[in-house]
Structure 1
Amino acid sequence: MRQMKLGLSIASAGYHYSAWCHPDVDVRSATSIQHHVKAAQLAERGRMDFVFLADWSSILNVDDLRIARDREQAQVKVDPTLAMAAVAVVTKHVGLMPTASTTYWHPFNFARRMAAIDQLSGGRVGWNMVTSHGLDEARNFGLDKPIDSDTRHDRAREFVQVMRGLWDSWDDDAFVRDKATGQFFRPGSVHALNHEGRHFKVRGPLDMARPPQGFLPIITAGTSDNSQDLAAEIADMCYGGQPNIEAARAYYSSVKGRLPKYGRRPEDLLMMPGIQCYVGRTQSEAEDKFALMQSAMPKEVGIGQLIVNHFPDLSAYGLDDPLPDMTMRSEFLGSEKLGGREPELTLALMRRARDEKLTLRQLFDIALCGFWSLGVIGTPKVIADMMEEWFTTGAADGFNVQPPYLPGGGEDFVDLVIPELQRRGLFRTEYEGRTLRENLGLPRPASRYATDVAEAAE
């Protein structure tokens, strides 16, 4: 029976903008190894596939005084590859999914680091591959503006090509380590890449054995044609951010429909939308948990986050005032400086605000409880019902769980929702394999030199 895959996204203290203000949250979560360890061990207790740690190499537009960045938790964070390497020591089964950018890393350094962590963790590392479109990051790396989308995605393709070539530097059986003969590795088992392309020139080989997984599983995100094509070409998972099942089905179909172009099958790519859950044993308990989080968020934070996501400045409106018609105000959209969600999500929410005559408070409740992906407030049955519908009707192959705060929000999901999914046969009760690839149901890629090795042996 097909079963869904589940990841746990850490995101500092949680995915709510005011998660750090929750009474049960450690205000130093973002830079605490204990926090990351607890989250990973929680995911492992729930038999989840991986823990996910997002990242970007900057603080965000602190010079824009309309945005209350001084009240946010996510401006300070640790290098996720280092956090995941540390977490590997105190976990045994759960996968480790750090984020790194193909725009600002070099493939040799990154291939070396990730191969090392995969070796040290016994084959449990994946990679959230991003291409970094933000202005603040660009300025940190000597650029006046972000690199254009076509160039970033072209660089990303070549980056992955180089990475995989470097991971194949050594044959799987290269290291004989024979004390009797004094031979450490087999002659002819190491290969120089000698790559020379548009963006990179890398000789190789890598000074690290082939990763236990062969190639690390890659997860990507994004709704643009460039992002979807890249996912269809090189990704093993795709992190979606669609807020409703119709949008998720369309995205699922669009990305999977591109796979044949690259000689791939639908099962080669797992679609894993984000889901943020407020879980209660009763509906009223779940609603109380949501209300507590919303009450901790100052109006200034809500206004600023709407601005980041291409809304006009609504600070002149009271929380219970009706909102103006914003649907035709196209000048608010597409700001490279701010970043934020895709403009089509903003437009959809503007239309909803108009059609339903939303107040500012109601707009906050819809938009600012997380990152605009699927949000559910309810009992384990309500949440499992929704997840099952998405899973069985072509909207998802699994989910990236985005706790509103940690550890409590994650514990609610692991202790209440996962048992309900297991009861329905939708999720595992024990890990199937040793590596992240095995648990995701993804085959281990053979080395590009495997045929040569077999012929030489004959």
Structure 2
Amino acid sequence: MTTRPRREGQLHLNAFLMSTGHHEASWRLPESDPSYQSTNIAYLQRLAQTAERGHLDSIFFADGPALFRDVGRRPSGTLEPTVVLAAIAAVTSRIGLIATASTTYNDPYNLARRFASVDHISGGRAGWNIVTTAHLEAARNFGYEDLPSHHARYQRAAEFIDVALKLWDSWEDDVEIGDKVDGVWGDSGRIHPPEHVGEHFRVAGALTTPRSPQAYPLLVQAGSSEDGKDLAARYAEAVFTAQQTLDDALAFSYDLKRRAVEWGRDPAGLLVLPGIVPVIGATQAEARAKEDELDRLIRPEFARVQLAKTLRVDPEDLPLDRELPADLPSEEEIEGAKSRYTLIVELARRERLTVRQLIGRLGGGRGHRTFSGTAEQVADAIQEWWDAGAADGFNIMPAVLPSGLEDFVDQVVPVLVDRGLFRSEYTGTTLREHYGLARPEHPRHRDGSRLGVGVVAHPATADPTTPVPTTTSTTHEGAQA
């Protein structure tokens, strides 16, 4: 690992949970029970308890309102994630609970009410991963003939978040009076209906749910396009991102925090958490053998169809043993997930991968960084990006569940604790406290911006006038080269 000055503070770890694991062939392993692991709440509760045993900041469930995969490829059945969070809240006490919900195919009132309810049920542990949903299959489930344009989806998202914030702030913290003698339960003067009339939404009344323990759920965002970064810089408190190299991660973190400053925010209130897919073994050879076994189980005919959809080409244009065609669409022509499209194309071009090799690289994490090695090597990989200021923590994406999460909690977390990089026990009770972020005051009782109050930023990223450090990204021997 490259030697760098020691960074102050501690990193943040979120566990991204997905049925049998993030590797698309994980369901084919003997340990997997796909029908059980996709929809059994007891299994999901146990995963959350494992993450809480490791004192991780949070767990996270992705979601999309469409069955857009070929169900022959991998387990595709899922549960609605806010319902899952409520069930997990009942059997955990500290772990943060984050779920994805679309601003394109929801309405602010119902969504704000659901997340406020989860925050109450969990005692202040809820987070909302804000997405605009980039799939035509979802659009057609909600009456659209075509996918709304990328820019239009993000315009709607910004107004959606504004309305949700008004709803969460429609109650002050001290509405309840509870005067039994005079028969007055609450102060109507402390209720503030949004009376919102905008381009996309008309929302008149106050939320039925009182202001929650965190004031409102932690706001998370996962888009890395230009529109996505602008939305994150304006609203998000944590960002999940896919980055393949240290230099790319540094540039992304710097750019995002610079944009936050332009919105009048403290960049320390915006945490950047790249995804990493760790495959852990007692030796590097054992870890590589685990990864090789998973890659051998990929069905390339299924994976090629999905890759073709992402690249907006016909599957026949992607011969398995040739590199990507030269005449792919530009990012400007993509109305779906722009940043993921660019990441995949750049990865293939940079390393001159054949389609078969690219499918193998994407099989573990769909463009997120994959890494196979010992627990020490995984900790080294995490620390390198942390010390460089390229990440405030990581979105841990186990290739196989439950064993991959157990290996990370039991083997990697103790190494990070011993190095002073991660907590040995929880010190707070809410998700914002885990992330070092203050509870937002009600707008009628505070000055300054709505968001962005948090821990002191790392020197490498706190000052957006500081040039992005130029680094030579070295690949650890345990990394997926």
Q: Could you state the TM-score of these two structures normalised by the residue count of structure 1?
A: 0.90
Q: Are 2:405 and 1:410 aligned?
A: yes
Q: Are 2:435 and 1:440 aligned?
A: yes
Residues 389-414 of structure 1: CA distance to partner in whole angstroms, max 9, x if unpaired?
A: 10111210000000111111111111
Instruction: Quote the Cα distance in structure 2 between the aligned partners of 1:361 and 1:44.
Output: 38
Instruction: Quote the Cα distance in structure 1 between the aligned partners of 2:154 and 2:354.
Output: 39
What is the CA distance between 1:381 and its match in structure 2? Answer: 1.1
What is the CA distance between 1:257 and its match in structure 2? Answer: 1.1
What's 1:96 paired with? 97
Q: Are 2:1 and 1:8 aligned?
A: no
Mean alpha-carbon deviation: is it higher for 183-192 or for 239-248?
183-192
What is the CA distance between 1:51 and its match in structure 2? Answer: 0.6
Instruction: Quote the Cα distance in structure 2 between the aligned partners of 1:94 and 1:403.
Output: 17
Q: Are 2:26 and 1:19 aligned?
A: yes
Instruction: Quote the Cα distance in structure 2 between the aligned partners of 1:111 and 1:83.
Output: 17
Contact 2:331 2:342 in 1 (8 A): no
What's 2:456 paired with? none
Instruction: Quote the Cα distance in structure 1 between the aligned partners of 2:330 and 2:444.
Output: 52
Contact 1:43 1:51 in 2 (8 A): yes
Contact 1:15 1:370 in 2 (8 A): yes
Contact 2:324 2:355 in 1 (8 A): no
What's 2:147 paired with? 146
What's 1:65 paired with? none
What is the CA distance between 1:298 and its match in structure 2? Answer: 2.2
**Correspondence list, 1:237-316, <5 A:** 237-310=238-311, 313=315
Distance 1:117 1:315, change over 3 A: same
What is the CA distance between 1:327 and its match in structure 2? Answer: 5.1
Aligned residues: 438
Which amino acid is the alignment partner of residue 51 of structure 1? I
Residues 72-112 of structure 1: CA distance to partner in whole angstroms, max 9, x if unpaired?
A: 21x32111111111111000000100110111111011111
What's 1:134 paired with? 135
Contact 1:9 1:52 in 2 (8 A): yes
What's 1:106 paired with? 107
Residues 330-374 of structure 1: CA distance to partner in whole angstroms, max 9, x if unpaired?
A: 2598886986863322322332453xxx55654343232222111
**Correspondence list, 1:378-417, <5 A:** 378-417=373-412
**Correspondence list, 1:44-443, <5 A:** 44-60=52-68, 62=70, 69-73=71-75, 75-310=76-311, 313=315, 323-326=321-324, 328-331=326-329, 342-352=340-350, 354=352, 358=353, 362-443=357-438
What's 1:456 paired with? none
Contact 1:5 1:427 in 2 (8 A): yes
Distance 1:244 1:86, change over 3 A: same
Which amino acid is the alignment partner of residue 72 of structure 1? R
Contact 1:327 1:347 in 2 (8 A): no
Distance 1:76 1:341, change over 3 A: farther
SS in 2 for 1:238: strand
What's 1:66 paired with? none
Instruction: Quote the Cα distance in structure 2 between the aligned partners of 1:293 and 1:325.
Output: 22
What's 1:42 paired with? 50
Mean alpha-carbon deviation: is it higher for 300-309 or for 258-267?
300-309
Instruction: Quote the Cα distance in structure 2 between the aligned partners of 1:187 and 1:316.
Output: 63
Contact 2:323 2:354 in 1 (8 A): no
What is the CA distance between 1:307 and its match in structure 2? Answer: 2.1
Instruction: Quote the Cα distance in structure 2 between the aligned partners of 1:81 and 1:206.
Output: 18
What is the CA distance between 1:430 and its match in structure 2? Answer: 1.1
What is the CA distance between 1:326 and its match in structure 2? Answer: 2.9
Instruction: Quote the Cα distance in structure 2 between the aligned partners of 1:43 and 1:35.
Output: 13
Distance 1:305 1:341, change over 3 A: farther
Mean alpha-carbon deviation: is it higher for 417-426 or for 53-62?
53-62
What is the CA distance between 1:180 and its match in structure 2? Answer: 4.6
Mean alpha-carbon deviation: is it higher for 213-222 or for 134-143?
213-222
Distance 1:261 1:325, change over 3 A: same
Instruction: Quote the Cα distance in structure 1 between the aligned partners of 2:181 and 2:241.
Output: 54
What is the CA distance between 1:179 and its match in structure 2? Answer: 3.9
SS in 2 for 1:218: strand
Contact 2:224 2:339 in 1 (8 A): no
Which amino acid is the alignment partner of residue 251 of structure 1? F
Instruction: Quote the Cα distance in structure 2 between the aligned partners of 1:352 and 1:381.
Output: 28
Distance 1:80 1:291, change over 3 A: same
What is the CA distance between 1:315 and its match in structure 2? Answer: 9.4
CA RMSD across the alignment: 2.3
What's 2:472 paired with? none
Distance 1:316 1:212, change over 3 A: closer
Which amino acid is the alignment partner of residue 73 of structure 2? R
What is the CA distance between 1:433 and its match in structure 2? Answer: 0.8
Which amino acid is the alignment partner of residue 10 of structure 1? L
Distance 1:359 1:326, change over 3 A: closer
Residues 115-163 of structure 1: CA distance to partner in whole angstroms, max 9, x if unpaired?
A: 1111111011000000112100000000011111222111111111111
Instruction: Quote the Cα distance in structure 2 between the aligned partners of 1:101 and 1:302.
Output: 25
Which amino acid is the alignment partner of residue 176 of structure 2? F
Distance 1:327 1:71, change over 3 A: closer
Instruction: Quote the Cα distance in structure 1 between the aligned partners of 2:437 and 2:67.
Output: 35
Instruction: Quote the Cα distance in structure 1 between the aligned partners of 2:309 and 2:404.
Output: 25
Instruction: Quote the Cα distance in structure 1 between the aligned partners of 2:338 and 2:196.
Output: 36
